[in-house]
Structure 1
């Protein structure tokens, strides 16, 4: 009897471990002024089936459109995109039980922050409407001090509706963390800042800027997993520029695009991410297309078009590829749901699964590191 009991207990324990290995968690940032949303949502994700189930959510958090985990995953920082009343919020997060507990919020020191990054010492915000960057020092507990530095961009470009002033759309650390790159949709530039993480005031110092084609609208930038190349997605013309990257210097290698040459509709390129193995690059386009395009990445960093797939909804704002590389989750903001694609890790191709994750105005999807 003792032997049978041990076998049963061992079997139950093994099944529990197996179930845990097949479960991931992800967070979703939303807009709360478009429909009923309480802010940030925590989901469990089953790697065997691609099913997601709501696990937890915040209450009364205003427009936490973009999120970032601290390096130790114990904190979550969120922008609160709310015009002149915009703030930045911090939350304590538990990987074990998925709890997300509000700690504090501070004035964002900018208008409509639309992107956020952090490291052990600082939290950095990109502000779309004010065309600015703000930097907050962290306390030892991970909470935020008052803004230590703000930087305001100036200038304009070709598009009379979108480029009459600076619009900083994203911040990105360089692979070696020596620099911070800021994409500016309003001025058609990438600004490259030297990053002095330990400084109390002069944390960012301008090193250089790279000007792209007028009217292109730089939106989001990502680095290849090996850190040798950078890829810039441009919202207004759907272009992707491939850069060689070395020690704060971007050198253009080629240009391609997420649209066909004869495309006549509205363009709204949005998000760009690598597959975990670095072999494929994916990018979404909103506007009239509402699709996601995949490129094969060559050894020299250049791209080959692979395929384009409908996003399964309207307004594919952001997407996330799970750490195993088997699934792609697309936030169709205007459809109020997330679509799940099964991904072939060998070919990079996507197949739409017959399920959606209903959620009000999803913007940003982040898997727990």
Structure 2
């Protein structure tokens, strides 16, 4: 009898371990260049790197970037489609992977490219529109019409890319008291005070922070302890480190380039993320570089380059690290695949597994619980 109990316990432990190693991988895509249903949900095994398709949305137009509600029941997506752009809300069943359209509304600006959400609001960056808009959430998870719009004005020194404001990202501060927003067109980070309970003034400008002229700030991420911010600039591949204090202020402390010393060609820095243990920083670069740089994060917030390697595809727009930290997945917009790398948790280095998810124009990747 004791042996039977041990056997049952072992089986239960194995089943629990298996379940803990499995996550949903959500993928947002462009739908205007190849056949895509929009949003895809894969089950991903973080122990083995294996994956399988669970479900997808139906005929959703270019849901490029996604944001999932804290309760894991809703997905919010930007529909990046010029003057036909929208922001959409979906019901999400994590177990089955089913994605159910709820509603959509106009973002009052072209080409929304990034978004975040909390229990009250969905906040969106309009790239071509050069604005930030805020939608309130309805009790059923759907979104209202825009309740607040903040229009950025001005231009930068790069005539081709900075002819006007281009808001590229919105990010909550760790304590959710502020929203930081990168404007590629203006070479500025906007810092807004955040009041989620307001009806039409959820965001109020606290200050702006200038970055190097012509650099084009794209995406930033906070260190795990919230004391530092790492910003990647798209136009010249600058990587800037800031200290951050709880009053919502940034102070530049270091700057480097993610370009190799002998590199010649086009650059288009894209995504920046930190490993779940907070020890390593990863940054992708596109155009001719098509690589990913790995940095070790030191105790004082400084970074040290570990390696730089090819992402094995063209257009590494976004990537995601699974919650266990075992794997890093890079989505390639132009080679229509997601390359799966194994992570060495000690060194931060990446090893190609040879596994790929073949998928039309993947743009935004994120993991959720099942």
TM range (shorter): over 0.9
Q: Deviations over 1:16-73 (max 9, x none)?
A: 4343222211100000001000100000111222111111001100000000011111
Establish whether residue 125 from structure 1 lines up as the match of residue 124 from structure 2: yes
Q: Deviations over 1:323-357 (max 9, x none)?
A: 11110000011100000000011110110111210
TM-score (norm 2): 0.96
Which runs of structure 2 are paired with 1:46-195 in the superposition (5 Å)? 46-195=45-194
Corresponding residue SS for 2:157:
coil
Distance 1:133 1:355 in 2: 38
**Residue 56 of structure 2 contacts residue 97 of structure 2 at CA under 8 Å; is this kept in 1?**
no
Establish whether residue 251 from structure 1 lines up as the match of residue 251 from structure 2: yes
Moved over 4 A (4+): 2-15
Distance 1:284 1:7 in 2: 47
- 2:20 maps to 21
TM-score (norm 1): 0.96
**Residue 44 of structure 2 contacts residue 51 of structure 2 at CA under 8 Å; is this kept in 1?**
yes
Distance 2:243 2:16 in 1: 43
Q: Which runs of 5+ in 2 are unaligned?
A: none
- 2:286 maps to 286
Q: How many residue pairs were aligned?
A: 368
Query: Does 6-15 or 263-272 show the bigger shift?
Result: 6-15
Corresponding residue SS for 1:353:
strand
- Deviation for aligned residue 1:7: 8.1
Distance 2:285 2:310 in 1: 10
Establish whether residue 221 from structure 1 lines up as the match of residue 240 from structure 2: no
Establish whether residue 352 from structure 1 lines up as the match of residue 352 from structure 2: yes
- Deviation for aligned residue 1:98: 2.0
**Residue 57 of structure 2 contacts residue 98 of structure 2 at CA under 8 Å; is this kept in 1?**
no
Distance 2:95 2:359 in 1: 24
- Deviation for aligned residue 1:120: 0.8
Distance 2:96 2:2 in 1: 33
- 1:207 maps to 206
Distance 1:305 1:11 in 2: 42
**Residue 47 of structure 2 contacts residue 326 of structure 2 at CA under 8 Å; is this kept in 1?**
no
Which runs of structure 2 are paired with 1:321-332 in the superposition (5 Å)? 321-332=321-332
Query: Does 37-46 or 85-94 show the bigger shift?
Result: 85-94
Q: Deviations over 1:157-205 (max 9, x none)?
A: 1111111011000001111111111100011111111111110011111
Q: Which runs of 5+ in 1 are unaligned?
A: none
Corresponding residue SS for 2:334:
helix
- 2:364 maps to 364
Distance 2:75 2:151 in 1: 26
Distance 1:269 1:300 in 2: 25
Corresponding residue SS for 2:18:
helix
The alpha-carbon distance between structure 1 residues 210 and 3, as it changes in their structure 2 partners (threshold 3 A), is: closer
**Residue 316 of structure 2 contacts residue 331 of structure 2 at CA under 8 Å; is this kept in 1?**
yes
- Deviation for aligned residue 1:3: 9.7
Q: Deviations over 1:214-263 (max 9, x none)?
A: 11000001100110001110001101110000121100000012112442
- Deviation for aligned residue 1:94: 1.8
